[in-house]
Amino acid sequence: MQGYDNSSYGDAFADVYDDWYGDISDIDATVTALARLCADAGGLSIVELGCGTGRLALPLALAVHPTTVTGIDSSAAMLQQLDRKRGDTPLQTILGDMVDDIPNSRLGVVFVAFNTFFNLGTAERQQQCMHAVAQRLAPGGSFVIEALVPEDPARTGSMVEVKSLARDRVVLSVARYDGGKQSVEGQFIEFTESGGVRLRPWTIRYASPTELDSMAATAGLRCSQRWETFSGETFNEDSHRHVSVYTPV
Ligand SMILES: C[S@@+](CC[C@H](N)C(=O)[O-])C[C@H]1O[C@@H](n2cnc3c(N)ncnc32)[C@H](O)[C@@H]1O
């Protein structure tokens, strides 16, 4: 999408993110699973890639204290929302990129939730992220990816849906699918009677669990566990999403 960069998503969604997506997944189950993986890695530091408003990183930091938790995000607007909520929570944040700005230290758990890995817009960038994480993971550490399972066959074409409708306001969701490129580009378009039009753009480059496993293998990681969700439901061929745990070979 022309003009779209690393901070476009966060800057466009920061003001509505918690309202729209605050309960998109089970936070308690996510925190419990990540804390367990952290304990398995000897309590070493945790990093969340694309932490956004801290939906997961803030409760996790409280749960695993005194283990250091760091959230990286490329959107200042998202991190401002996080700061508004954080109180005394012992969470470190980095305004930066989830490939280039991962701290150079031995890490116990790195995780990337809710399709955020697919915000890296090319296979090359996703592979670079795998390498960057693998270089920093301690033996026994984990890289956890939570993501959708792409439709098979891949969808191509466009769609328009009504996200919300009120007397003085409508939000439309439009998206364009390119199955060949494994990409989806979308916009939430908000019209208000007072005259405003607000655009919230997003793009993803999706990958199947098999492709992620292959990228991980190239980086020296292997998939040691895969669930449908952080609650531990069994992943199977009908699953629409997955939580994959990659560990150093
Ligand atoms: C879908 S939100 C997820 C936020 C949070 N992980 C959650 O589950 O609620 C994706 C986040 O990734 C951030 N992001 C996108 N590309 C990024 C990049 N290259 N490096 C760091 N953060 C990025 C966005 O700013 C946004 O806050």
Residue-wise pLDDT for 5-37, tens only, equals 999 999 999 999 999 999 999 999 999 999 999
* pLDDT tier at 82, thresholds 50, 70, 90: very high
Element housing 248 (H / E): strand 241-248
Query: Under CATH, which architecture does the 8-149+206-248 domain have?
Result: 3-Layer(aba) Sandwich (3.40)
Query: Under CATH, which architecture does the 157-204 domain have?
Result: Single Sheet (2.20)
pLDDT at 18 (0 to 100): 97
H-state helical runs in 24-121 = 27-40, 57-64, 76-86
Q: State the residue for tokens 């070979």.
A: 249
pLDDT value at 1 more than 90: no
Nearest CA to ligand 1 atom 11: 50
Global pTM reads 0.96
**pLDDT > 90 fraction of the chain, expressed in percent and rounded:** 97
For a mutational test of ligand 1's pocket, the pick from 30, 119, 145, i.e. the residue with the most ligand atoms closer than 8 A to its C-beta, is 119
Angle separating helix axes 123-136 and 209-218, nearest 10 degrees: 50
pLDDT tens across 156-207, in order?
Answer: 999 999 999 999 999 999 999 999 999 999 999 999 999 899 999 999 999 9
pLDDT value at 2 more than 90: no
CA atoms within 13 A on the CB side of 49: 30
- Ligand 1 atom at minimal distance to the Cα of residue 7: 25
**CA 168 / ligand 1 centre spacing (Å):** 30
Mean pLDDT of 109-130: 98
Instruction: Work out the burial of residue 156: count CB atoms within 10 Å of its CB; fewer than 13 is exposed, 13-18 middle, 19 or more buried.
Output: exposed
Q: State the residue for tokens 């040691």.
A: 224
**CA 167 / ligand 1 centre spacing (Å):** 32
For ligand 1, residues with CB inside 6 Å are 6, 9-10, 50-52, 55-56, 72-75, 78, 97-98, 113-114, 116, 119-120
Taking all residues of the chain, what is their mean pLDDT, rounded to a whole number?
97
- Ligand 1 atom at minimal distance to the Cα of residue 21: 9
pLDDT at 35 (0 to 100): 98
**CA 116 / ligand 1 centre spacing (Å):** 5
Q: Which two tokens stand for residue 207?
A: 């990958």
pLDDT at 28 (0 to 100): 98
Mean pLDDT of 75-88: 97
Instruction: Work out the burial of residue 64: count CB atoms within 10 Å of its CB; fewer than 13 is exposed, 13-18 middle, 19 or more buried.
Output: buried
The domain limits of the chain are: 8-149+206-248, 157-204
8-149+206-248 and 157-204 in the same fold = no
pLDDT value at 220 more than 90: yes
Of 4, 6, 20, the closest CA to residue 76 belongs to 6
For a mutational test of ligand 1's pocket, the pick from 7, 34, 116, i.e. the residue with the most ligand atoms closer than 8 A to its C-beta, is 116
Contacts of 89 (CB under 8 A, 6+ apart): 54, 58, 61, 62
pLDDT at 50 (0 to 100): 98
pLDDT value at 3 more than 90: no
- Ligand 1 atom at minimal distance to the Cα of residue 10: 25
pLDDT at 76 (0 to 100): 97
pLDDT at 195 (0 to 100): 83
Contact 120, 224 (CB under 8 A): no
